[in-house]
């Protein structure tokens, strides 16, 4: 897919703001949801939950800018949006119920150093992710987060009769249809803004159906901000170990996100790039703990936006960081974005998450078509999807191990890496023949495409002449 704006290009200021807005709208729900759910689960009063949300937006904005622009050895210099990760949700609630917010922040602070330490070994880690492994990981990122979009469409507990009612399905379909229509029938800046146009169109329809709760806007304060170390820091060994295990999961997910993003940006990342990205991830979570915000991780949904819009400019996403900071300092702005109905986000999410899976499939096509690689891909994908669709497979494992493997991305990554390392290598002759066959197919497709284009160029003048005659 041809890029509209490459990694280091800067779109016009007005277009940059519009494109940055769609990244913000796609991510703000997730950023806000984590502190909202954790705060409510551990019994915090509403005003303190609002403080956690403001801190999350501010931390996300600062670290997003650092990742996109880069500060010395920190930041991968790709259009990556950072936000409060759902991976930390369960452990944060468990720690918070026992030791309060101070214990969450203390364990998150110590755990962030696990990520910082791991970043210095990314040259070795990168060697574990050749094309066949990277393709599985990226595909799993797209497929395993599809249930998030499904839950957004349902916008209620799965057992509830209110799950995915007809108006909710209608909203999701309308939003999805707008994104597809704009992407197919429009060009340039309009096509690049397909996500935000889909969100806006769905929002307008939801307003007309009375499905938007505007009370959140009226109740939000005009000016707000985080209160660093508001609850202090408490360090408990069990909490630190649990939190550190989740950080290891985030390392695997971040590596996959960075590679998927690089693929969508038509660039390559090496060990040094991954080191800068993971260092930004770790230091960002350290900053979050100090600001009283939940730990951070890269947001997979924004990887899909780059793929669907063709806008790979890191300066656009850096502007998204600026909007997130404004959302943290001016809560009414954030409240406006939060009022977007979940079914609207879900409809758009189908495109965003599907685009990530598509990027992974494209990577897998480039791998040699051998029996060994087929086994690595099939078993890796199946393992990751198995624990995603049926979590009860892990219910009899020790709690810490089950918690570690609950993420389909983590399980699939571990299985794929192990298989790739342990299975006997394909013979060089077999692999060369497979690669040659794949290359021949690609070349044949290019030849047919060129012949088709030449035929069109030949027919068009003849048709025009006939019309003139």
Q: Please, what is the end-to-end C-alpha distance for the chain in angstroms?
A: 39
Token pair belonging to 393: 């497979």
How many Å apart are CA 59 and CA 377, to the nearest integer?
37
Give the model's pLDDT for residue 448: 59
Give the model's pLDDT for residue 460: 46
Going from the C-alpha of 381 to that of each of 210, 314, 358, 388, 396, the distances in angstroms are 41, 30, 14, 11, 22
Put residue 246 in one of left, alpha, beta given phi > 0 → left and psi -120 to 50 → alpha.
Answer: alpha
Going from the C-alpha of 73 to that of each of 8, 107, 274, 280, 383, the distances in angstroms are 18, 25, 11, 9, 35
Question: What count of other Cβ atoms lies within 10 Å of the Cβ of residue 442?
Answer: 12
Give the model's pLDDT for residue 431: 58
Give the model's pLDDT for residue 286: 95
Write phi, then psi, for 44 (nearest 5 degrees): -75, 145
Question: What count of other Cβ atoms lies within 10 Å of the Cβ of residue 101?
Answer: 24
How many Å apart are CA 430 and CA 103, to the nearest integer?
55
Question: What count of other Cβ atoms lies within 10 Å of the Cβ of residue 151?
Answer: 17
HSE toward the beta carbon, residue 90, CA cutoff 13 A: 12
Going from the C-alpha of 204 to that of each of 200, 208, 348, the distances in angstroms are 6, 6, 15
How many Å apart are CA 302 and CA 308, to the nearest integer?
10
Kindly give, in sequence order, each residue whose CB lies less than 8 Å from that of residue 293, ignoring residues fewer than 6 positions away: 35, 52, 55, 56, 58, 59, 60, 84, 226
**pLDDT tens for the chain, residues 1 to 469:** 678 899 999 999 999 998 898 888 878 777 887 887 688 778 788 778 778 888 999 999 999 999 999 999 999 999 999 988 777 876 788 788 888 999 999 999 999 998 999 888 877 777 777 888 888 887 887 888 788 788 889 988 888 889 989 999 999 999 999 989 998 888 876 777 788 788 889 999 999 999 888 877 777 778 877 788 888 999 988 788 778 877 877 787 788 889 888 988 999 888 889 999 999 999 999 999 999 999 998 887 778 788 878 889 999 999 999 999 988 888 777 677 677 888 988 888 888 778 778 878 888 888 878 889 999 999 999 999 999 889 899 989 987 788 778 778 778 888 998 999 999 886 656 556 655 665 556 555 555 555 554 554 554 444 444 444 4
Token pair belonging to 386: 């198995």
Going from the C-alpha of 128 to that of each of 133, 258, 420, the distances in angstroms are 8, 15, 8
444 exposure class (CB count in 10 Å sphere: 0-12, 13-18, 19+)? exposed
Token pair belonging to 325: 């900071």
Closest by CA to 30, choosing from 145, 127, 111, is: 145
How many Å apart are CA 1 and CA 365, to the nearest integer?
15
How many Å apart are CA 416 and CA 364, to the nearest integer?
13
Question: What count of other Cβ atoms lies within 10 Å of the Cβ of residue 314?
Answer: 27
Cα dihedral 195, 311, 142, 211, rounded to 10, equals -10
According to DSSP, the residues that pair with 373 across neighbouring strands are none
How many Å apart are CA 404 and CA 250, to the nearest integer?
10
Residue reference for tokens 């068009």: 460
Give the model's pLDDT for residue 58: 93
Whether 111 and 248 have beta carbons less than 8 Å apart is answered as no
Residue reference for tokens 């951070």: 296
C-alpha dihedral sign at 378, 383, 389, 390: positive
How many Å apart are CA 267 and CA 265, to the nearest integer?
5
Angle at 303 between CA 279 and CA 356, to 5 degrees: 125
How many Å apart are CA 116 and CA 254, to the nearest integer?
13
Q: What is the pTM of this model?
A: 0.68
């Amino acid at each position: 897919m041809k890029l509209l704006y490459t990694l280091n290009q800067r779109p016009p200021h007005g277009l940059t703001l519009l494109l940055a807005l769609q990244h913000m709208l796609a991510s703000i729900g997730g950023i806000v949801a984590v502190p909202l759910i954790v705060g409510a689960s551990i019994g915090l009063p509403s005003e303190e939950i609002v403080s956690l949300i403001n801190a999350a937006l501010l931390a996300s904005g600062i670290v997003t800018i650092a990742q996109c622009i880069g500060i010395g050895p920190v930041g991968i210099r790709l259009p990556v949006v950072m936000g409060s990760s759902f991976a930390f949700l369960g452990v944060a609630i468990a720690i918070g119920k026992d030791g309060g917010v101070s214990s969450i922040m203390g364990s998150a602070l110590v755990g962030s150093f696990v990520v910082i330490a791991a970043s210095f070994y990314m040259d070795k880690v990168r060697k574990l992710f050749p094309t066949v492994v990277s393709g599985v990981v990226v595909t799993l990122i797209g497929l395993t987060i599809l249930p998030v979009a499904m839950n957004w469409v349902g916008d209620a507990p799965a057992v509830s009769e209110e799950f995915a009612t007809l108006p909710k399905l209608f909203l999701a379909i309308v939003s999805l249809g707008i994104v597809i229509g704009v992407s197919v029938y429009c060009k340039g800046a309009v096509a690049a803004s397909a996500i935000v146009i889909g969100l806006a169109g769905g929002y307008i329809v939801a307003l007309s159906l009375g499905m938007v709760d505007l009370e959140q806007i009226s109740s939000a304060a005009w000016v707000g901000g985080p209160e660093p170390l508001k609850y202090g820091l408490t360090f408990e060994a069990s909490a630190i170990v649990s939190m550190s295990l989740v950080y290891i999961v985030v390392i695997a997910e971040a590596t996959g996100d960075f590679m998927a993003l690089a693929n969508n940006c038509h660039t390559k990342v090496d060990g040094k790039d991954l080191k800068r990205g993971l260092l930004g991830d770790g230091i960002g979570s350290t900053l979050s703990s100090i600001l009283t915000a939940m730990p951070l991780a890269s947001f997979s949904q924004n990887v899909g936006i780059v793929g669907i819009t063709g806008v790979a400019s890191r300066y656009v996403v850096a502007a998204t960081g600026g909007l997130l900071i404004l959302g943290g300092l001016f809560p009414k702005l954030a409240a406006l974005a939060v009022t977007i109905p979940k079914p609207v986000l879900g409809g758009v999410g189908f495109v965003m998450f599907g685009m990530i899976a598509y990027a992974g499939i494209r990577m897998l096509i480039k791998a040699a078509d051998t029996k060994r690689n087929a086994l690595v891909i099939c078993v890796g994908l199946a393992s990751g999807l198995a624990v995603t669709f049926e979590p009860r497979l892990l219910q009899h494992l020790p709690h810490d191990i089950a918690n570690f493997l609950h993420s389909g991305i983590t399980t699939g990554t571990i299985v794929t890496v192990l298989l790739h390392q342990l299975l006997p290598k394909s013979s060089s002759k077999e692999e060369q023949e497979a690669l040659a066959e794949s290359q021949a197919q690609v070349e044949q497709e290019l030849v047919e495409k060129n012949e088709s284009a030449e035929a069109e160029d030949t027919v068009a003048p003849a048709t025009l002449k006939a019309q003139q005659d």
